[in-house]
Chains A and B, each alone.
Chain A
Amino acid sequence: MRTVIKTENISKQYRLGTIGTGNLYSDLTRWWYRLRGKEDPFLVIGETNDQSVRGNSEFVWALRNINFEVQQGDLVGLIGKNGSGKSTLLKLLSKITAPTTGVIKLRGRVASMLEVGTGFHPELTGRENVFLNGTIMGMTKKEVEKKFDQIVEFAGVARYIETPIKRYSSGMSVRLAFSVAAHLDPEILLVDEVLAVGDAEFQQKCLGKMSDVSKEGRTIIFVSHNLGSIRRLCNRGLVLSNGNLVFDGEVNLAVDNYLESLPSHDDTGSNVVSFEQDDSKLFQFTYISIEDGNNQSRGKYFYGDKIMVRLGYVIRQDCRNFSVRLALARNGETLFWTFDTDENEALFARRAKGEYLACIALPDFLKAGIYTVSVSFIEMGFEKEEHIDIIRFVLDDSTFDTSTKSYHLDRPGHIRPHTKWVYTEHPVEV
């Protein structure tokens, strides 16, 4: 197999704050050092990029000494929390900005989809935009012409193709934009979270298209928060944390590594996350904890244990059309959502201000795995204060021999329902 991407010690430093006269001083200093052939003095003072902690330095490393190689045909999932450097890495690979230090070597044509519809002009028709967008992404006019019918068909907008994009629904323009990108035929395709847009059906279509592309021996680097689609699509995972590459290997191991690194609560110790309060917000979560039947907060559970989510939140002003959402994901794949208003419609109409405490008993059919909980409020149909994968717990089956059971971890399925098999008293004679 050919190596198509090779990075050697790439780092990217960013400067925080605004650009003004202060920068002139550091620019001049930098220039003066360079003039004398010395090393850039600011490269030594950068800090790791932990966004939640207020650092001392204005300079942060969005990426630090990243080394990896990608072979032709690899489908690489980039995994990491917000701000871990995933997007920065894609920007470097796609030449949008240069690394501060290090070298990236690439083989073959690279196309990046960091955003769908880059360069779409609202006044131009669908046809004109397909050509413009396609050539911006690196195709020649001839190549676009050859694929034009396929692109339009895939997007399903044939009827509107001579209409300006500004008349399109947002779904239609996203479909058209993705369709252009999907027909690029580059040797290396970089994809950033673009599948977050569009409806579920189209997302499936896109994932299918991407795995087709990879079968033709092309290489894909894919960033997504949806660990489920990373697992399905990719064969290899890179985990980034605060700008460092912390794991590089088989995709399932990578996802597990990432999940285990999430708000790291001791598996046996207490498992609580508290939120910093800001009185100017209309509603906020106060804390979330995972507890057992005895109200003991912990991170590790076994089959048969009762698992409860205790959720505190405060509402500072009466709200209408309001729900609290809890989502449970197993090994990165969403298992279910639940709203507190699902069973209690009265709650939906009006919610008085005050502090609330909710206790959610998780169903007893969970199958062993790493579970993450996401919470948010939904007000007037809009998601607010979303906390993705805010807390996690482990359901362990190691105390229990499951090798003969249907819910053994190697067997398919995400849940372990207590299915009743009913037989007649006696087997029927044959």
Chain B
Amino acid sequence: MQATEEKWDTIITSKAPLFDFRLGEVWRYRDLLVLFVKRDIAQVYKQTILGPLWFFIQPFITTIVFTVIFGNLAEISTDGIPPILFYLAGITFWNFFAEALTKSSTVFRDNANIFGKVYFSRLVLPLSIVMNSFVKFCIQLLMFIIVYVYFMSVNDAVRPNAMALLFPVLVIITAGLAFGFGLLITSMTAKYRDLYFLIQFGIQLWFFATPVVYPLSEVDPENRIYAILNPMAAVVETFKYGFTGVGTFEWSYLAYSAGFMVVIVLLGILLFNRIEKTFVDII
């Protein structure tokens, strides 16, 4: 009798154990995760005539804009790759990262109402945001592949190499970085919102620090080490290298990005879980 007395399903205390990622809870709410992703996709095209087609129109316009502006005007080196392909490759990955990061960095603020009324694994929401961005990324990627196949047929230099197989790894690193940084930012801005004002600005700066519209080879060799400290740099460069054969690829750069991603995801989850316990009182 005494033994069963002490077996509880849930124990709520004021402090969470420091290293408790509570991932089992996320698994329990996996259905909710899927529904959140579906909801966010569905609400975009509700009450439109074109419906889901809108998902393709936006990336299509992005592609056109890049073709016109960068294809004809910009004078920056593209390492010999056709400019359109070069910019499109960079922007496909960058947009994925930037969107997932921006949206997940306001999770607490945007969902204060629902968080204040019902408990579910809070990590589900930022995860659903990253997955939603991933869906949009896939569509943009489709545009990239169409353009890519066209250039393959007209330009013998454009061929994929073995490093293209690293593509899934690049996606995971990008998603992880956006997720981890998003969690850190939303946790840090829950109570003191000062930092929030710097985020938009910070992401723009980050864009220019990443070799999206210029190749890494354009950076002076002595400064390259600083450029590569940015974990997104190796991701974008590896993608360009794998699909066009031009660019900078080093295993060490990519390993650094992957390691950085793992650390930032763990830190993000820890801080998020800590803030989540009482954030309803401080938001």
Taking Cβ atoms with an 8 Å cutoff, the residues of A that contact B are: 2-3, 6, 14, 19, 23-24, 91-110, 112, 114-115, 118-119, 121, 123-124, 128, 131-132, 135-138, 140-141, 164
A19 touching B282, Cβ below 8 Å: yes
A99 touches B29 (CB 8 A): no
Report the separation of the CA atoms of residues A106 and B278 in the bound assembly, to the nearest whole angstrom.
19
Residue numbers in B under 8 Å from A108 (CB-CB): 9
Cα–Cα distance between A124 and B114 once the two chains are bound (Å): 16
| Contact status B119-A96, CB under 8 Å | yes
In this assembly, does B280 line the interface, its C-beta being within 8 Å of a C-beta of chain A? Answer: yes
B80 at interface, CB cutoff 8 A: no
Asked if B118 is at the interface (CB within 8 A of a chain A CB), the reply is: yes
B42 within 8 A of A: yes
Q: Which residues of A contact B191 (CB under 8 A)?
A: 19, 23
Chain A residues with CB under 8 A of B115: 96
Assess the A107–B42 pair: CB atoms within 8 A.
Answer: no
Binds A, one of B10-18, B94-102, B247-255: B10-18
Which of B31-39, B174-182, B207-215, B233-241 forms contacts with chain A? B31-39
Indicate whether B153 reaches chain A with its CB closer than 8 angstroms: no
Are B14 and A164 in contact, CB atoms less than 8 angstroms apart?
Answer: no
Query: For residue B9, which residues in chain A have a CB less than 8 angstroms away from its CB?
Result: 106-109
- Contacting B277 at CB < 8 Å: which of A97, A107, A115, A124? A97
Contact of A3 with B35 at beta-carbon distance under 8 Å, contacts A96-B115, A99-B14, A110-B10 already known: no
| Contacting residue for B35 out of A14, A99, A131, A138, CB 8 A | A131
Are A101 and B14 within 8 A (Cβ)? yes
A128 to B12: give the CA distance in the assembly, Å.
32
Instruction: Give the CA-CA distance A91 to B119 in the complex, in Å.
Output: 9
24 contacting pairs across A/B (C-beta < 8 A): A19-B282, A92-B12, A93-B12, A95-B10, A96-B280, A97-B277, A99-B12, A99-B14, A100-B14, A104-B11, A105-B10, A106-B9, A112-B118, A118-B117, A128-B39, A128-B42, A131-B35, A132-B32, A132-B35, A135-B31, A136-B114, A136-B118, A138-B120, A141-B34
Least CB distance, B118 to chain A, in whole angstroms: 5
Per-residue contact bits, chain B 29-70, to A (CB 8 Å; 1 contact, 0 not)? 101101110110011001100000000000000000000000
* Cβ contact within 8 Å between B192 and A19: yes
Q: Which of B243-283 contact A (CB under 8 A)?
A: 277-278, 280-282
Q: In the complex, how many angstroms separate the beta carbon of B273 from the nearest chain A beta carbon?
A: 11
Interfacial chain A residues near B15, Cβ < 8 Å: 98
Q: Which of A96, A121, A135 contacts B29 (CB 8 A)?
A: A135
Please, which residue of chain B has its CB at the minimum distance from the CB of A20? B192
CB contacts (< 8 Å) of A6 on chain B: these are 8
Whether B13 lies near A121 (C-beta < 8 A) is: no
B5: CB under 8 A from chain A?
yes
| Contacts from B to A (Cβ < 8 Å) | 4-5, 7-16, 29, 31-32, 34-36, 38-39, 42-43, 46-47, 114-120, 191-192, 277-278, 280-282
Name the residue on B nearest A181 (C-beta). Answer: B118
- Complex contact A107–B114 (CB within 8 A): no
Name 15 extra pairs, CB < 8 A, besides A98-B278, A100-B14.
A91-B116, A94-B118, A96-B115, A97-B278, A98-B12, A102-B14, A104-B12, A105-B11, A106-B11, A119-B114, A128-B38, A132-B35, A135-B31, A136-B32, A136-B118
| Residues on the A chain within 8 Å of B192, using CB | 19, 24
Question: CB-CB < 8 A to A137: which residues of B?
Answer: 118, 120
A178→B223 CA distance, assembly (Å): 62
A193 to chain B, nearest CB (A): 12
Interface centre among B32, B46, B118 (most CB of A within 10 A): B118
Residue of B nearest to A62 (CB): B281
A378 to B29, CA, bound (A): 46
Q: Using Cβ atoms and an 8 Å threshold, which residues of chain A touch B116?
A: 91, 96
Chain B: minimal CB distance from A250 (Å): 24
Question: Is A124's CB under 8 angstroms from B42's CB?
Answer: yes
Most chain B beta-carbon contacts within 10 A, residue among A23, A97, A131: A97
Which A residues lie within 8 Å of B35 (CB)? Answer: 131-132, 135, 141
Q: Which residue of A is nearest B113, CB measured?
A: A118
Please tell me if the beta carbons of B13 and A106 are within 8 angstroms of each other in the complex: no
Flag if A107 contacts B13 (CB, 8 Å). Answer: no
A114 to B115, CA, bound (A): 11
> In the assembly, what is the distance between CA of A402 and CA of B217, in Å?
101
CB neighbours (8 Å) of A19 from chain B are: 191-192, 282
